A and B are shown apart, each in its own frame.
Chain A
Amino acid sequence: MEYLLHIGIMLCIYIILVLSTNLTVGMANLLTMCQAAFYGIGAYIGTYFLMQYNLPFIVIALMVMLATGLTSLLISFASVKLKGDYFILGTLGFQMIVYTILYNWISVTRGPYGIPGIPSIKLFGVWSLNGIYAYFFFALVLAVVVAMIFSRLQHSPYGRMLKAIRTDELSAKALGRNTIHLKTWAFFISAAFAGVAGLLYASYVSYIDPTNFTLDESIFIITALFIGGIGSRVWGPIVGAAVAVILPELLRFVGLPDAVAANLRQVIYGLVLIALMFVRPQGLLGDAKLK
Chain B
Amino acid sequence: MSYANARKEVFNLLNGVNMAVEEGKVTALIGGNGAGKTTLFNIISGFEKDFKGQVILEGNDVTKMPAHKIALKGLGRLFQGRQLMDNLTLMENMKIASDDTTGESPFEGLFCRKRVAKSEAAKEQRAIDILMKVFGEDNKYLGMLNHKASELSYGEQRLIAMARLLMGNDRLLLLDEPTSGVNPRYIDTFRTIVRDMVEKEGQTVLLIEHNMSFVRSMADHCHYLADGRIIKSGPTQFVLDDPVIRKDYLGL
List A residues at the B interface (Cβ < 8 Å): 149, 152-153, 156-161, 163-164, 166-168, 170-179, 182, 185, 189, 287-288
Contact = CB atoms under 8 A, between A and B. Distances in A.
B85 A176 contact: no
With most chain B CB atoms within 10 A of its CB, the pick from A164, A176, A177, A189 is A176
A170 B97 CA distance: 13
B92 interface: yes
A178 B67 CA distance: 9
Contacts of A156: 103, 106, 109-110, 116
A-B pairs, top 6 by smallest CB distance, nearest first, are A156-B109, A157-B103, A176-B71, A158-B109, A167-B85, A176-B72
B87 A166 contact: yes
B106 A189 contact: yes
A182 B104 contact: yes
Given A156-B110, A170-B47, A177 B85 contact: no
Given A153-B110, A158-B109, A175-B96, 7 more contacts: A157-B109, A158-B104, A167-B86, A173-B68, A173-B71, A174-B47, A174-B76
B141 interface: no
A12 to B, nearest CB: 21
B102 interface: yes
Contacts of A189: 106
A178 B69 CA distance: 8
9 contacts: A153-B106, A157-B101, A163-B87, A164-B85, A173-B68, A173-B71, A176-B71, A178-B66, A178-B68
Interface in B75-89: 76-77, 79, 82, 85-88
A178 B71 CA distance: 10
B79 A149 contact: no
With most chain A CB atoms within 10 A of its CB, the pick from B69, B95, B106, B168 is B106
Nearest to B89: A160
A101 B116 CA distance: 43
Interface size bucket, B side? 20 to 34
A164 B104 contact: no
B112 to A, nearest CB: 10
A189 B96 CA distance: 22
A153 B105 CA distance: 10
A167 B96 contact: no
B99 interface: yes
Nearest to A149: B110
A174 B116 contact: no
Contacts of A174: 45, 47, 67-68, 71, 76-77, 79
Interface string B91-135: 010011101011111101110000010011000000000000000
Given A157-B116, A159-B109, A163-B85, A176 B104 contact: no
Interface in B19-61: 45, 47
Contacts of B110: 149, 152-153, 156
A158 B105 contact: yes
Contacts of A160: 88, 92, 95-96, 104
Contacts of B168: 175-176
A175 B104 contact: no
Given A157-B116, A164-B96, A171 B79 contact: yes
A103 to B, nearest CB: 33
A164 B83 CA distance: 12
Contacts of B97: 175
B69 to A, nearest CB: 8
Nearest to A189: B106
A174 B67 CA distance: 6
